[in-house]
Amino acid sequence: MSSGELQRRLGLSDAVVIGAGSMIGAGVFAAWAPAARSAGTGLLVGLAIAAVVAFCNAASSAQLAAIHPESGGTYVYGRRQLGETWGHLAGWGFVVGKTASCAAMALTVGAYLWPEYERWVAVAAVVAITAVNIGGLSRTVAVTRVLLVVSLLALTAVVVSGWTSPSASLGRITPIDGDLHGIVQSAGFMFFAFAGYARIATLGEEVREPEVTIPKAIPRALGAVLVVYAVVGVTALAVVDADLLALTDAPLRLVAEAGDLPVGGIVRIGAGIAALGVLLNLIPGVSRTSLAMARNRELPHWFAHVDARRSLPIRAELTVAAIVIGLVVLLEIRSAIAVSGVAVLTYYAITNAAALTLTEAQRRWPKSIALVGLAGCTVLIAALPWRAVVTGVAVLAAGATVRLVTARRTSSG
């Protein structure tokens, strides 16, 4: 085996753990509030819709990853299957969506650890994570496992403590609130809690028998995560009125503190660690995608610089951090999640569109799954708050404009 090849060390259980660990993060601690504001108890239906869309997207990603086993995700798939313009839109959608996700995660850190100074703590978290990344901290699958354990312990504390509340009752869950639009909008918010599920699709070079392992790992990981989220969601609605959940940036802290057990500190720290772990991976991911796009002249070439001493794209890294800090100052968690949803759902809509171009020989799942995924992404985007949709579309359009200007300057040069 050459030094440039990855080793196939991971089995089915490893792939499921990595997939679940990429999903069960800080999103589950934050998404309930905006979903409850949109649909009340109907958010449980929204959760199921989000899971279906997530499965379709992950299935399309897995098929494309088998055909194009290289870094870049839908930025690569779009370029190969649909053309450079669609690839750029996917890459830019990833950058925009994950940058907004960084802001939401940073605000989640503040909301749980020190709500009175939520924004200051969020800014400090971004600065600290950026300093760690520039210092060159190496991260492995072990980090994902640790964060998964921390998140599950915190969620377990929420559920156990919540059901010790004297007012806990399944009767709070019915009747189902929310109209159709509100329920679909809640699905758009809950989709944020599934972010990271496509990580399974990128394991093609690292798992044993990927053509068998990956198709099995995706539904199992998503199914396990859906069960966890359903238990947490039912508990939250049984303990705290949906109207109260909608008013807080730290909904699960409210659920834990409603019970008789002194686990509020565990939940706060667990949520904070989970959010910091997401930031630790998201900020470098956005900066590396920006680097790749700059090298292809689809973003200003200034971002293609790699620091010789640290071997890091420091210009891109610091720019991403500065933008995240700006968003932390300007946006609420709900707005950050919504903008992220518009951009990331656009990214996955292109994923599904690219999957539709596969031949029957290349296809591992029925074509209908990609069709459902494409339609689902489109519907969820349209259902999100109109200000977020306008903002997201405007930023995506700005990225396309920058690409055109950069390409023309390159041609004239």
DSSP-assigned letters across all residues of 125-169: HHHHHHHHHHTT----HHHHHHHHHHHHHHHHHHHHHHTTSTT--
Q: How many CB atoms sit inside 10 A of residue 79's CB?
A: 21
Whether the CB-CB separation of 217 and 52 falls below 8 Å is answered with no
Using the predicted structure, report yes or no on whether residue 409 has a pLDDT greater than 80: no
Amino acid 342: pLDDT: 97
- When pLDDT is cut at 50, 70 and 90, the band that residue 292 belongs to is confident
- When pLDDT is cut at 50, 70 and 90, the band that residue 117 belongs to is very high
Pick from 406, 407, 392: which is nearest to 94 by CA? 392
* CA distances in angstroms from 198 to 129, 312, 333, 339, 368, listed in the order given: 23, 25, 23, 20, 19
Give me 98's structure tokens: 């994950």
Q: Which residues contact 142 (CB under 8 A, 6 or more apart)?
A: none
Whether the CB-CB separation of 211 and 10 falls below 8 Å is answered with no
Give me 187's structure tokens: 């699905």
Amino acid 1: pLDDT: 43
Would you mind telling me the total number of residues written for the chain in this entry? 413
* CA distances in angstroms from 240 to 191, 236, 270, 301, 315, listed in the order given: 22, 6, 20, 51, 45
C-alpha span between 301 and 131 (Å, rounded): 24
Q: Report, as an integer, the average pLDDT of 380-390.
A: 96
- When pLDDT is cut at 50, 70 and 90, the band that residue 2 belongs to is very low
Amino acid 246: pLDDT: 95
Amino acid at 33: A
Reduced to 3 states (helix: H, G, I; strand: E, B; else coil), residue 10 is strand
Amino acid 46: pLDDT: 97
Whether the CB-CB separation of 277 and 290 falls below 8 Å is answered with no
With tokens 């050459």, the residue in question is: 2
Peptide bond into 284 cis (omega under 30): no
Amino acid 205: pLDDT: 62
- The pTM assigned to this predicted structure is 0.90
C-alpha span between 361 and 211 (Å, rounded): 13
Reduced to 3 states (helix: H, G, I; strand: E, B; else coil), residue 312 is strand
C-alpha span between 46 and 242 (Å, rounded): 14
* CA distances in angstroms from 8 to 5, 206, 389, 396, listed in the order given: 9, 4, 41, 37
Using the predicted structure, report yes or no on whether residue 22 has a pLDDT greater than 80: no
Report which of residues 380 and 194 the model is more confident about: 380
Whether the CB-CB separation of 66 and 210 falls below 8 Å is answered with yes
Element (H, E) at 73: none
- When pLDDT is cut at 50, 70 and 90, the band that residue 4 belongs to is very low
C-alpha span between 395 and 383 (Å, rounded): 18
Give me 311's structure tokens: 């071997």
Whether the CB-CB separation of 188 and 384 falls below 8 Å is answered with yes
Give me 47's structure tokens: 């959760």
